[in-house]
Amino acid sequence: MIIRSIPFAKSLEEGIKILRGNWLQAIENHHFAYSGGKEIKDILDVGCAIGISTRHLADRFPSAQVTGLDLSPYFVAVAQYKDKKEAATGKQREKPIRWMHALGERTGLPSASFDLVSLAYVIHECPQYATRALLKEAFRLLRSGGTVALIDNSPKSKAIQDLPPPIFTLMKASEPWMDEYYSLNLEELMYEVGFTNVKSVLTNPRHRTTTGTVPFDS
């Protein structure tokens, strides 16, 4: 996926650096612009799977408490196992990542307890009603001035629009909610949920990062 997304990268490592780095920079830029100077102290990564995006967030914000949450107990178990392997090499984090098995739509976590909620490559896997529920839960969980950030396929990406029909058909065959995702006006939905300052930026040729803010009067 990374090599297809960053075709000009000279190596997998460079592709990862560009893909994840641009995403993280978009988050930082948005939070700096609209949070009223609030520090990112608590981060929730919804749909974390085995924790790839979660670890990138923890590396970028080392003083924050990061929680990775996923519906699959198996993914959470692998994430925990990877932590043990990291620890065996001597790598120590200032604040160890917390892992949680729960529904992203109903986390059971306290309201207004996070400064950043991330959904990385999650919502193209979801019907529209689930995306709305995920965004409503993110809104509930964020403090005033907090940031929600979603990275996923960009419907406006020329790289995706120019895919050969057989490849696009194959992609849709393995992604049952792709039609609902591409017909969703994500920015409009985020405003409906209550977010302000909603912005979408193409952070690599195939993916957009969409960010929004919980207003201070919430």
What residues pair up with 118 in beta bridges, in sequence order? 45, 149
What is the pLDDT tens value at each position of the chain, 218 positions in all? 676 677 777 887 888 888 899 999 999 999 999 999 999 999 999 999 999 999 999 999 999 999 999 999 999 999 999 999 988 998 888 899 999 999 999 999 999 999 999 999 999 999 999 999 999 999 999 999 999 999 999 888 787 777 777 777 777 777 888 889 999 999 999 999 999 999 999 998 889 999 999 999 86
pLDDT at position 84, please?
A: 92
Measured distance CA(161)–CA(158) in Å, rounded = 5
- Helix, coil or strand: residue 25: helix
pLDDT at position 40, please?
A: 98
pLDDT at position 208, please?
A: 95
Indicate the length of the chain as a whole number: 218
